[in-house]
Structure 1
Amino acid sequence: MDKKIGIIKGSLRKNSFSQSIADYVVEHSPEGCIFEVIDISKLPLYNQDYDDANPQEYIAFREEIKSLDGVLFITPEHNRSLPAALKNALDVGSRPYGESVWNGKPGAIISQSPGAIGGFGATHHLRQVLAFLNVLTLAQPEAYIGAYHTLIDETGTLKNPDTQAFIDGFLSAFTDWVEKIS
């Protein structure tokens, strides 16, 4: 049976590089895995007042995460950290207290930025949050993609063969990790 892996993008922007990477991953999923993008754009901001009467968006999101065998986070870096929308999704999934949908899920991170260090700050902060949520995050290899604007064509499609090969290798390691944890 195929492993079902969700992709959560830190960027909400329609034509983001996170979207370009997600498109590539979905189209080039390793054998035995199905990758699908999980939309976080419509999640209301987390509010503890909602812990008793959850918005429908929270309920649907949590059920979707529960159905996954693993989660791939694809994120840009915002001010040397993870984007607010991604942090919100993590918070929504972690509640109500004691019922986190993240607990024990295998995870991995691909970060990117227009700069040379490829979203290192975002990955570092995201790893801290995921460790607290008990997401079993792939430690090696790491995936930092810098100067992303040089790797895509005018339509936003990832065209750089070296980057494609790097992502393919990363996905192979991640799917092995998901299989091992499962």
Structure 2
Amino acid sequence: MKLVGIVGSIAEDSYNRKLMTFMANRFNNIADIEVVSIKDVPMFSEDNDQTNGMAVQYLKHRIENADGVIMATPEHNHTTTAALKSTIEWLSYKIHPLEDKPVLIIGASYFTQGSSRAQLDLREILEAPGVNALVMPGNEFLLGNVRDAFDDNGNLKDGGTINRLSNLLIKFSKWVNVLKALKGPEPADAYKNEDLTASGKTDTTIEGVKPGDPDWIEKAAKLTNAASGKDYVKLDAGILTVDQLNWFLKSIPAELTYVDDNNQFLYYNHKAPAEKMFASRTPQQPGSPMSAVHPDKRNVHDHVKQVIHTLRTGKTDMFQLAEPVDKKNAKWVVNNYQAIHDEDNIYRGINEIVIDFWPIVKKYLEMTGQTLVDDPNSKVDANASASTKEEAATEAPAVDASASASESETESQPAPAPATQAPAVDADASASEEDAPAQPEVDADASASK
């Protein structure tokens, strides 16, 4: 279970942060708790709307991608902190990530009451119209005399307190699961809420240049002081110059496209002119919203929304679309839409990978001495143009092949799906040499046909 722990104090030395960090470390067998800070969230002001600012959007994404939220509040003058109250204002002004989200309130204070009045205050705020959080009822965790509660390693000293905290977290986990079951499946048309115009912002959105600007790359690079040319970039498992990175990406035998979690098209590995690509792209398109990349003809936008929503919500990590087999030009093109997640498993966009599999299959057949035959038990899915067994079921949305990423038209017709396994041949079967298919001699050591 994924939980977000929001610390209501912005003090450097915060006991409530110690409490939340202890929970994350001690009870990782119960839940995965990500502790987040609100110190970068500005004070709420309608005159200076920061809804789309990075700090607010960061919290929004964390909350939306979590199963539940834990809030730890100190007590300031019998209430919760101004910083936490202001944060909740931003999270209920134009965006509402806390709506119907399970929330557990905990708190620590210097004196015996353990932030009890602040917790009551916070509960009223979270249950207010516009916030509409689902605060777990009938349970409190009040850590009083907090200055004596932790040892030098940040661990709670008292075993009874640890047990109470553990039991509370177990109850909250059950509460989250009950609410999830009561909520039921999402509406069938939930995908329609996907915003293909990229009107929102994420914590990686480049501000100051309009999406769709034909000079978006150059302007965005200037705004961000982006590395280029011989500048080095540190990657997870190596260091490359920008030139080397471009050479490497262009050498991959596939067309790659990156669309971020705001549905803004950011990158493609410019391998060839648009007219020679399977999924046509131009240098002017990066920075554009998906609504501009995919003109809304033949109900394309509806199909694109379905694919994005399927990946964003985790119904699947990859959706594949096979285009009609082009027998004339010997092309087997498959569009792979792969969900991208960060190290915290937060959805970060889509990697579209377009591959012509025929050269790979052809080489494999040559190396193994196999041939292709039609599979009499298969049928072609008219929507996805993909071969499917009658007994197989798919959870992926139906997508019109003509509405795929490629805007080019094809005159080729779907062909029966090939089987990559050659039929078994009975060596004793009576058949003339003319009837039997010729099989090339294969060197078992070299794995290549002679």
Q: Normalising by structure 2, what TM-score?
A: 0.38
Which stretch of the first structure deviates more once superposed, 73-82 or 57-66?
A: 57-66
Identity %: 28
**What is the 5 A alignment of 1:71-110?**
71-96=69-94, 99-110=95-106
Distance 1:4 1:145 in 2: 24
Distance 2:118 2:147 in 1: 18
CA offsets, 1:63-105, max 9 Å, x none?
2221111100111111110011111111111121xx3111000
Check whether the contact 1:78–1:122 (CA below 8 A) recurs between aligned residues. yes
Which stretch of the first structure deviates more once superposed, 28-37 or 46-55?
A: 46-55
Which stretch of the first structure deviates more once superposed, 61-70 or 80-89?
A: 61-70
Distance 1:170 1:163 in 2: 11
Check whether the contact 1:112–1:118 (CA below 8 A) recurs between aligned residues. yes
Instruction: Please point out which of 145, 148, 167 is paired with 1:147.
Output: 145
CA 57–100 in structure 1, closer or farther in 2 if over 3 Å, else same = same
Which stretch of the first structure deviates more once superposed, 46-55 or 6-15?
A: 46-55
Alignment-derived partner of residue 116 in structure 1: 112
Alignment-derived partner of residue 43 in structure 1: 41
Distance 1:153 1:104 in 2: 37
Distance 1:107 1:127 in 2: 9
**Is 2:141 the partner of 1:131?**
no
CA offsets, 1:106-126, max 9 Å, x none?
001111211111111100100
Aligned positions, number: 178
Distance 1:19 1:117 in 2: 18
Check whether the contact 1:30–1:171 (CA below 8 A) recurs between aligned residues. no
Distance 1:154 1:60 in 2: 32
Check whether the contact 1:30–1:175 (CA below 8 A) recurs between aligned residues. no
**What is the 5 A alignment of 1:59-78?**
59-78=57-76
Per the TM alignment, residue 53 of structure 1 is displaced from its structure 2 partner at its CA by 7.0
Per the TM alignment, residue 59 of structure 1 is displaced from its structure 2 partner at its CA by 2.1
- Amino acid of the structure 2 residue aligned with 1:111: G
Distance 1:89 1:141 in 2: 24
- Amino acid of the structure 1 residue aligned with 2:107: S
Distance 2:5 2:30 in 1: 16
- Amino acid of the structure 2 residue aligned with 1:160: D
More helix, by proportion: 1
CA 53–94 in structure 1, closer or farther in 2 if over 3 Å, else same = closer
Check whether the contact 2:51–2:90 (CA below 8 A) recurs between aligned residues. no
Instruction: Please point out which of 39, 54, 64 is paired with 2:52.
Output: 54
**Is 2:6 the partner of 1:11?**
no
Structure number with higher relative contact order (C-alpha < 8 Å, ≥ 6 residues apart): 1
Distance 1:142 1:13 in 2: 23
Check whether the contact 1:81–1:122 (CA below 8 A) recurs between aligned residues. yes
Distance 1:20 1:53 in 2: 29
Distance 2:15 2:80 in 1: 15
Alignment-derived partner of residue 318 in structure 2: none
1:15 counterpart SS class = coil
CA offsets, 1:123-175, max 9 Å, x none?
01000001112111111221111111221123443222121111111111111
2:12 counterpart SS class = coil
CA 53–122 in structure 1, closer or farther in 2 if over 3 Å, else same = closer
CA 14–157 in structure 1, closer or farther in 2 if over 3 Å, else same = farther
Instruction: Please point out which of 158, 161, 183 is paired with 1:160.
Output: 158
- Amino acid of the structure 2 residue aligned with 1:107: V
- Amino acid of the structure 1 residue aligned with 2:12: K
